[in-house]
Amino acid sequence: MVETYLPILLMAVVAAAFGVGLMAASWLLGRVSKSKTDLRPYECGLDPMDEPFKRLSVRYYLVALLFLLFDVETLFLYPVAAVFREHAALAPWRFFVYGEMLLFVAILVVGYLYIVRKEALKWQ
């Protein structure tokens, strides 16, 4: 029984040793002397125009989260749409799956309408 798990254990030990070895090599070989420009942001060789830790508007993060929401929605819809017509095993479940996808899209449309109503996508 042990011999069946031995290759997995060996691979885990080698992976852990490889990770620790890379971190140790980075720590030993990657030392750089500190200079005045270490904490300054890099902007294509130009002097920075704003503070490096400038506060951003909440709308910026809100739009980023909305993008992720609709991106994940696409990730959920695409496999169902790709498989929906081809598999004969789904024939009895076809209307159920179709209804579930319509419910999913309806919930997202309600969320989108709420976002539009709250004017979360306006940049003013």
Q: What is the C-alpha separation between 64 and 121, in angstroms, rounded?
A: 10
- The domains of the chain are located at 58-117
Structure tokens given for 63: 């739009």
Alpha-carbon dihedral 25, 27, 33, 39, rounded to 10 degrees: 120
CA-closest candidate to residue 109, choices 77, 79, 84 = 77
Successive 10-residue mean pLDDT values, the chain, 124 residues: 88 97 92 69 64 75 82 82 70 78 88 83 72
Q: What is the C-alpha separation between 110 and 106, in angstroms, rounded?
A: 6
Phi-psi region of 63 (alpha: psi -120 to 50; beta: other; left: phi over 0): alpha
pTM tops 0.75, yes or no = no
- pLDDT at position 18: 98
- pLDDT at position 52: 66
Q: What is the C-alpha separation between 88 and 83, in angstroms, rounded?
A: 10
- pLDDT at position 53: 75
Alpha-carbon dihedral 114, 84, 68, 115, rounded to 10 degrees: -10
- pLDDT at position 23: 95
- pLDDT at position 15: 97
Sign of the Cα pseudo-torsion (76, 78, 82, 85, in order): positive
